[in-house]
Amino acid sequence: TEIYEKSIDLASQKMLQKAEEEGIETAWDRYEKQLPQCSFGQLGVCCRNCNMGPCRIDPFGEGAQKGICGATADIIVARNFLRMIAAGAAAHSDHARDAVLTFKKMSEGEAGSYRIKDEAKLLSLASEYGIPSEGKSLEEVAGKLADTLLQEFGKQDGHLQCTRRVPESRLKLWAELGIEPRGIDREIVECMHRTHIGVDNDAVHILLQGLRTGLSDGWGGSMIATDVQDVLFGTPQPRRSTVNLGVLSSDKVNVIVHGHEPILSEMIVEAAEDPELLKLAEEKGASGINVAGICCTGNETLMRHGTPIAGTFLQQELAVITGAVEAMVVDVQCVMPSLGELTGCYHTKFISTSPKADFPNTVRMEFHENRAYETAKEIVKIAVENFPNRVPEKVTIPEEKQECMVGFSAEAILSALGGSPDPLIEAIKGGAVRGIGAVVGCNNVKIKHNYGHVNLVKELIKNNVLVVTTGCNAIACAEAGLLLPEASEMAGDGLKAVCKALGIPPVLHMGSCVDISRILVLASAIANRLGVDISDLPAAGAAPEWMSEKAVSIGAYVVSSGVFTVLGTIPAVLGSQAVTSLLTGGLNGVVGASFAVEPDPLKAADLMLEHIDEKRKALGL
């Protein structure tokens, strides 16, 4: 494959070229070596859930139509899909658990590096959860809130407290369907139980548990992660920054934070400003310390501090290939194990920090709350001391970098609107804004890097759809210059006028992937204000280049919340007619929304526009 077919991004193309010249392997090379990919796997009809197997169903109807236990393609596909949701929900929710545990330790004075940054949000959460705050210290309130939130994980019955934010009609629907999430951990465990041999063997029944588990992520784990991180690190407010590989510095020590938990990256950002380390950097011949993010932990520090971002998921290897990275510091999720071998080809130190996640060839620097800042300082020190090892002949930093405006938490959006969603609702009613598009998710080598993201979003704003974004889509949009107020020039006339009046970009960066919960909160606020369900809103979602199991869980809760969602890569379900037709159609009759699959971003935009127009019509707009 030609380099220009791998990525639309110039900086990435240059690094792919450098990789080729230096004989360095990337995800794209490994993808080519995987081709043709296993068609049983692609269709989802391979089962390894017991040791009588592996079993596979012949998609042409000639060979075996049942596994040894008698499981059909429908059962196998549904079970595999449920396990993906369980893994995705587990990733988000286990991240949330660690955030709450840190919050709890902070309240007990055992995590001295962390503080309460957003008192107002703490107090408003306390009142929402019925925790009295009068006459109590903030730490006491935080401790009580932490206890309450921790119980959400182990709860056996009732329903998750965040679902208080859901419009009543939707909550009632979930109750009728029996898919109200009970406890966060319970739903995930139940998925594993149900998919064990000989338990749940009805595709529809299995998929309903998938919806419930997704909901325990979106309206549970992810939402709790967002809330607690805002209290600990501050609720994002609009600010400017820069993105793409060009943010790496030729004369400063470059430290990359990659992964997902701001518990780590926040401390690294702070440590990079430590006078002692800055002095050391100077002694080593560097003009300073530059922290840049990759993936969602990058989004977290970008949203709260304006720390630059070096790239999306598929740019993690390319960042190392610049030869200018002193340390690649990682925690959990979306970190390629290939970084171990790759960093060995350069001077880059690969530092793993999570007690849960190790990788080949890392320096282990386990991160614990009780001495978070000290560990962060040690990590940054390793990077600084590594600066003299940079090999000038191996360094090429592409000049491409792009400015962006970020920090659009639900709170920030409401305050940009003057305190209530009404001006946005009026703009939608009046037709200046045709609807809202939520575009999120990963990169995937099966789609030209950033091609799906950028073209889908451009098409939406051109058609007056206000776009909200998170995760790698947000980074891709930033790289394409779409996160600037000036980008409203690319928008249709109605949206352009609204953006100009408010001074906002046509594409609003709402945060990391757990922050899709912010989109849910915003959608609920609008629906409640209109007195309708979320499924009645002129809104649609998309994940043009998704790849992770987290994205499957997200899809499950977004659709169950009533939002039509277009996927740009094909999930492994086509081996079952029943599962495919339920996901892409039948769900409409169950939760009032469904999935569609459309790899062509312009056609995907058309599907979203069609849906938005239908909803406008139904609302009489």
Choose the contact partner of 47 out of ligand BF8, ligand SF4, none; CB within 5 to 8 A by kind: ligand SF4
Measured between alpha carbons, how far is residue 209 from residues 203, 213, 316, 535 in Å? 10, 6, 34, 20
Of 296 and 330, nearer to ligand BF8 (C-beta) is 296
Question: Looking at 246-254, 401-409, 520-528, 545-553, which segment touches ligand BF8 (CB under 6 A)?
Answer: 545-553
Among 28, 174, 233, 313, binds ligand BF8 (CB under 6 A): 313
For residues 245 and 310, is the Cβ–Cβ distance under 8 A?
A: yes
Question: Are the CB atoms for 211 and 205 separated by under 8 Å?
Answer: no
14 binding partner (options ligand SF4, ligand BF8, none; Cβ < 5 to 8 Å by kind): none
Are the C-beta atoms of residues 563 and 438 closer than 8 Å to each other?
Answer: yes
Contacting ligand BF8 (CB under 6 A), which of 6, 347, 550, 611?
A: 550
To ligand SF4, the closest distance from the beta carbon of 80 in angstroms equals 10
Q: Which of 12, 13, 26, 49 binds ligand SF4 (CB under 6 A)?
A: 49
Question: Does residue 78 bind ligand SF4 (CB under 6 A)?
Answer: no
- Could you say whether residue 101 binds ligand SF4 (CB under 6 A)? no
- Our measurement of the distance from residue 497's CA atom to the centroid of its chain's CA atoms, rounded to an integer in Å, reads 30
List, as one string, the DSSP characters of 550-615: HHHHHHHHHHHTT--EEESS--TTTT-HHHHHIIIIITHHHHS--EEE--SHHHHHHHHHHHHHHH
In the bound state with ligand SF4, the residue whose beta carbon lies nearer, of 76 and 335, is 76
Q: Give the per-residue contact string, 330-359, with ligand BF8 (x = CB under 6 A; - = no).
A: ----x-------------------------
- Whole-angstrom Cα distance, residue 559 to residue 590? 10
Cβ-based nearer residue to ligand BF8, 31 or 129: 31
Q: Please state the closest distance from residue 73 (CB atom) to ligand SF4, in A.
A: 10
Please state, in angstroms and as integers, the Cα–Cα distance from residue 509 to each residue in 239, 293, 575, following that order: 11, 15, 36
Say how many residues make up the chain.
621
Residues 6+ apart with CB under 8 A from 206: 75, 78, 79, 81, 82, 194, 195, 200
Residues 175-204 that bind ligand SF4 (CB under 6 A): 197
Task: Tell whether residue 522 is a contact of ligand BF8 (CB under 6 A).
Answer: no
Q: How far is CA 326 from the centre of its chain?
A: 26
- Partner interacting with residue 114 (select from ligand BF8, ligand SF4, none; CB below 5-8 Å by kind): none
Q: How far is CA 61 from CA 58, 76, 510, 577, in A?
A: 6, 15, 46, 13
| Residue 432 and residue 497 in contact, taking contact as beta carbons nearer than 8 Å | yes
Residues 52-91 that bind ligand BF8 (CB under 6 A): none
Is residue 50 a contact point for ligand SF4 (CB under 6 A)? yes
Tell whether residue 513 is a contact of ligand BF8 (CB under 6 A).
yes
Among 208, 207, 210, which residue's Cα sits nearest to residue 218? 210
Residues 6+ positions from 305 with CB-CB distance below 8 Å: 269
**Nearer to ligand SF4 among residue 197 and residue 395 (C-beta):** 197
Q: Which is nearer to ligand BF8, 507 or 513 (CB)?
A: 513
Window of 68-76, 83-91, 546-554, 585-593 that interacts with ligand SF4 by CB under 6 A: 68-76
What residues line the site for ligand BF8 (CB under 6 A)? 260, 295-296, 313, 334, 441-442, 471-472, 512-513, 548, 550-551
Residues of this chain that bind ligand SF4 (CB under 6 A)? 47-50, 52-55, 67-69, 71, 76, 197
